[in-house]
Structure 1
Amino acid sequence: CTTDKMFERLAEAMERPELASSALYGQQRKRLAARNEVNQIVTEWVGSLPRDEVLERCLRCEVPVGKLNSIADIFEDEHFQARGNLVTLEEPGLGKVVIPGVVPTLSATPGRVTNLGPALGDGTYEIMRELLNISPDEIKRLRQRKII
């Protein structure tokens, strides 16, 4: 926490008010010196409770907090859906694929995703011939050996 008052509120949210008045953690400079211990205490507390309870306690005690979403959370969240943060594409050989949309979405230039881009290996031969100057015979040998 950036201030002693903020740490006091966090300690209250954790139901560990003694932390804010302890000789080890009561002052910012001392917490900084013991940051690994403080981080461990907070990590254990966060890990001991459901996410929503941690959020509720922190908000109630005026501790800045935010939800860290899992991939499943993102796919299920109506807000992400409504904002177009996830785009479903139909791709040859893959079927339906969900990928991140364009962020930010600007009014004049919103952007859009229309495909996944070139398939893996699409430009291999052109790159080998034109950029790497590999002869057609060498490309043929590499292909026969299943290197490409």
Structure 2
Amino acid sequence: RTGKVKQRVGSGSNTSAPRNIYRCGNGKYLALSGSIQAMAERVFRTIGRDDRVCDPRFATNAARVRNRPLLDGILGEWFGARTREEALDIMHAADVTAGPVYDIADIAIDGHFRERGVFIELPDHELGSTLLNNAVPRLDDTPASFRIPAPELGEHTDLLLSELGFSVSEAEGLRERGVVK
């Protein structure tokens, strides 16, 4: 124990390399972990940089960690020249640990998330229907549900004003002055 707080390193690692998130040519991201020696060597060979396997700056994990900015630059350039899908196909074919980093659009169309009930489609007055996060947690014995869509702006104004003691003519006056919808 050194008594020192480890410095943040973003998405990377200060104990193993290569391990980071990389931006691909189509603007999508993927995560890669080549933290064991054999995996790091596979990464180099997969990206056509066999010369880095014996390069003293990258030959060991400790050396790769020390030279992480240079290593990330090499990998970033390679990933930046490919779409995420292309890069993942290549990495998976080489048995390299890599996976997509999803944004909300990716999550919304992923069949796994749909199958798990993460999203629910509900009617919407303006859009016809809209995709929303399902209720969390989803419990077997007491499942949550959405019974009606959110009200439209002003949909319950008359009812609420009536409950507050406003007459119909007072409510209409508020509406005419733009105080309520």
| Fold conserved between structures, TM > 0.5 | yes
Secondary structure of the residue aligned to 2:98 is coil
Whole-angstrom CA distance in 2 between matches of 1:7 and 1:105: 40
Aligned with residue 95 of structure 2, among 51, 58, 62: 62
Amino acid at match of 2:75: V
TM-score if structure 1 supplies the norm length? 0.63
RMSD between superposed Cα atoms in Å: 3.2
Q: In 1, distance between residues paired with 2:91 and 2:124?
A: 43
- Residue 66 of structure 1 aligns to a residue whose secondary structure is strand
**Quick check: 1:80–1:86 contact (8 Å CA) kept in 2?**
yes
TM-score, normalised relative to structure 2? 0.53
Q: Is the 8 A contact 1:90 1:97 kept in 2?
A: yes
Note the alpha carbon deviations across 1:30-53, whole angstroms, 9 max, x for none.
Answer: 110111111121122111112222
Q: Which stretch shows the higher mean deviation, 22-31 or 105-114?
A: 105-114
Structure 1 unaligned blocks of 5 or more: 120-145
SS at match of 1:23: coil
- Structure 2 letter corresponding to 1:88: E
After superposition, the C-alpha distances for 1:6-63 in whole angstroms (9 at most, x for unaligned) are 1001112212111121111111101101111111211221111122221122112211
**Structure 2, unaligned stretches of length 5 or more?**
1-33, 153-178
Seen in structure 2, the aligned counterparts of structure 1 residues 13 and 112 have a Cα distance that, compared at 3 Å, is: farther
Structure 1: which 4+ aligned runs deviate by more than 6 Å?
92-95, 115-119
Checking the alignment, whether the CA contact within 8 Å between 2:123 and 2:149 is kept in structure 1 is no
Higher relative contact order (CA closer than 8 Å, sequence separation 6+): 2
Paired position in structure 2 for 1:46:
79
Residue 70 of structure 1 deviates from its aligned partner by: 3.7
Identity %: 28
Which of 42, 57, 71 is residue 24 of structure 1 equivalent to?
57
1:93 to 1:17, Cα distance in 2 relative to 1, 3 A: same
Whichever structure has more strand as a proportion of its residues is: 2
Which amino acid letter does the alignment assign opposite residue 100 of structure 1? N
- The 5 A counterparts of 1:120-139 are none
* Matched AA of 2:77: E
Matched letter for residue 5 of structure 1: A
CA contact under 8 A between 1:89 and 1:97: conserved in structure 2? Answer: yes
Q: Distance in 2 between matches of 1:62 and 1:115?
A: 48
- Asked whether the 8 Å contact 2:119–2:131 carries over to 1, the reply is yes
Q: Tell me by how many angstroms 1:71 deviates.
A: 3.3
SS in 2 for 1:26: coil
